[in-house]
């Protein structure tokens, strides 16, 4: 049995959660135009995060991007929706449906500072689909209303405004629709936003077993039952981690906007256009160009060059004259002397050997050594074209 396999629901809570027998689900009140809009209007709201698991995927590269704790700009992916819920101040209970990675999610949560809501983790032993996962997770946190979000997303929408619109609509389900006005084909594209509001009665539409989808199944059933499905539109797209391209693009976007939320990196110090952990070492002759995020215990040695946006993970080492550009190095990566990494993701513990050039790839370690894959079509920066620039003011 693998570490994250589970044969039944597993739980992690910071507080004692009431059982379903202790609570009587409240019926949905009729919408009232005179009802005050504000936090008091949204009591007994729970949240469900639908984390992706491995399923039957065996390829280590694909598994990397499906794990809810994959580091994105030095932050576990699952931390982003949890921060979003915490900052809203509107949710009292959160259940994470972690599928076959529930054990590692529970262990990670146990190591985190206290959060302003109760927490529970659920694991499914067979594919239940997004709607089935929602029903199962909701059983752990009985509430009158639920915020449901795909765990692979980095939500940033106004949850207060979404809940207000949901209540005003009188619908049983509100689905977020995102509008991409950058479409090259003229008309803006409308895409599912991966965030929903469910009234508790919606859970009765979901079968207790078998695969159940939300977009193709639950929404159609609710509409047929005349429960009401409301679409809430927002401009812009929410980042989501689904593959190599979306992972690297999201990481680069976050690193390029580090000044937007400096509180997410407490204790980090300015490092040119980026940030570094106080324990990280940057040699005076190293060159950092553009925004670079340097993790705890990382070391950038003499003559090394880092072109941002890039992430140098915890305890990663760039040996003398190594070059990293527009890439992510995860924990304990070693880039040896005169090696070059561009537009790539190098996974934890991997080594790029002396003089080796890695471009447009995911690099993973296996028992037989280094393997690179997932060839892409991004433009490659030639190491010789980087040149010598002003040293970053982040020495010490």
209: left (phi over 0), alpha (psi -120 to 50) or beta: beta
**pLDDT for residue 66:** 80
- Give the strand pairing for 340-342 and 287-289: unpaired
Mean pLDDT throughout 348-354? 92
Could you tell me which CATH number the domain at 245-385 has? 2.160.10.10
Tell me the pTM: 0.81
Name residues whose C-beta falls within 8 Å of residue 84's C-beta, 6 or more positions apart in sequence: 154, 155, 156, 159
Q: At what angle do helices 79-88 and 159-169 cross, to 10 degrees?
A: 70
Distance CA 131, CA 279 (A): 44
DSSP H or E run through 14: none
Tens digits of residue pLDDT in 2-55: 333 332 222 333 322 333 333 333 334 444 444 444 544 567 899 999 987 655
Give yes or no on whether 20-241 and 245-385 have one common fold.
Answer: no
pLDDT of residue 8: 25
Q: Over range 67-74, report the average pLDDT.
A: 92
Give residue 92's pLDDT. Answer: 93
Rounded Cα gap, residues 346 and 60, in angstroms: 12
| CB contact at 8 A, 172 and 28 | yes
Class of domain 20-241: alpha beta
Contact in structure between 48 and 137 (CB atoms under 8 Å)? yes
Sorting pLDDT into bands at 50, 70 and 90, what band is 374?
Answer: very low
Task: Name 250's Cβ contacts closer than 8 Å, sequence gap at least 6.
Answer: 72, 154, 239, 240, 241
Inter-residue contact 61 to 49 (CB < 8 Å) = no
| pLDDT of 21 | 31
Structural contact between residues 49 and 82, judged by C-beta atoms closer than 8 angstroms: yes
Burial degree of 104 (CB within 10 A; 0-12, 13-18, 19+): middle
Beta bridge partners of 299: 281, 317
pLDDT bucket at 119, cuts 50 / 70 / 90: very high
The residues, ordered by sequence, that sit 6+ positions from 367 with a Cβ below 8 Å of its Cβ are none
> Domain segments of the chain: what residues?
20-241, 245-385
- Between 377 and 187, whose confidence is greater? 187
State the average pLDDT over residues 266-290. Answer: 94
Both tokens assigned to 122: 């659920």
- What pLDDT does residue 162 have? 96
Separation between Cα atoms, residue 328 and residue 313, nearest integer Å: 8
Q: CA 363, CA 334: separation in Å to the nearest integer?
A: 12
pLDDT higher than threshold 70 for residue 379: no
C-alpha distances out from residue 392 to 158, 333, 371, Å: 36, 22, 32
Given a cut of 90, whether residue 355 has pLDDT beyond it is yes
Q: Give yes or no for residue 255 having a pLDDT over 60.
A: yes
**The predicted structure's pLDDT at residue 59:** 67
């Amino acid at each position: 049995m693998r570490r994250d396999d589970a044969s039944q629901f597993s739980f992690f809570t910071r507080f004692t959660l009431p059982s379903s027998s202790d609570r009587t689900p409240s019926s949905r009140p009729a919408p009232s135009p005179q009802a005050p809009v504000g936090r008091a209007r949204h009591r007994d709201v729970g949240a469900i995060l639908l984390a992706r698991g491995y399923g039957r995927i065996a390829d280590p590269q694909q598994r990397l991007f499906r794990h809810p704790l994959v580091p994105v700009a030095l932050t576990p992916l699952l931390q982003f929706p949890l921060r979003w819920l915490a900052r809203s101040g509107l949710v009292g209970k959160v259940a994470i449906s972690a599928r076959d990675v529930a054990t590692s999610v529970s262990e990670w949560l146990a190591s985190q500072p206290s959060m302003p809501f109760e927490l529970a983790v659920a694991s499914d032993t067979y594919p239940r689909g997004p709607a089935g996962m929602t029903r199962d997770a909701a059983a752990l946190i009985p509430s009158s209303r639920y915020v449901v979000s795909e765990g692979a997303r980095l939500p940033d929408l106004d949850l207060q405004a979404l809940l207000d619109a949901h209540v005003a609509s009188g619908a049983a389900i509100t689905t977020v629709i995102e509008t991409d006005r950058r479409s090259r084909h003229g008309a803006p594209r409308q895409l599912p936003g991966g965030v929903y509001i469910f009234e508790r009665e919606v859970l009765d539409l979901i079968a207790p077993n078998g695969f159940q989808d939300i977009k193709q199944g639950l929404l159609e059933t609710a509409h047929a039952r005349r429960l009401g499905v409301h679409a809430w539109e927002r401009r812009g797209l929410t980042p989501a981690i689904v593959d190599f391209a979306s992972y690297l693009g999201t990481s680069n976007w976050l690193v390029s906007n580090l000044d937007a939320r400096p509180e997410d990196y407490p204790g980090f110090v300015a490092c040119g256009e980026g940030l570094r952990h106080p324990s990280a070492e940057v040699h005076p002759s190293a060159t950092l160009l553009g925004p670079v995020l340097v993790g705890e215990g990382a070391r950038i040695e003499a003559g090394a060059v880092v072109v941002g946006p890039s992430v140098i993970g915890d305890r990663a080492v760039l040996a003398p004259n190594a070059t990293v550009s527009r890439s992510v190095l995860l924990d304990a990566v070693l880039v040896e002397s005169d090696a070059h990494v561009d537009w790539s993701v190098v996974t934890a513990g991997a080594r790029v050997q002396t003089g080796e050039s890695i471009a447009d790839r995911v690099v993973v370690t296996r028992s037989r050594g280094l393997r690179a894959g997932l060839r892409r079509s991004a433009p490659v920066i030639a190491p010789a074209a980087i040149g010598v620039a002003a040293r970053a003011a982040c020495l010490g």
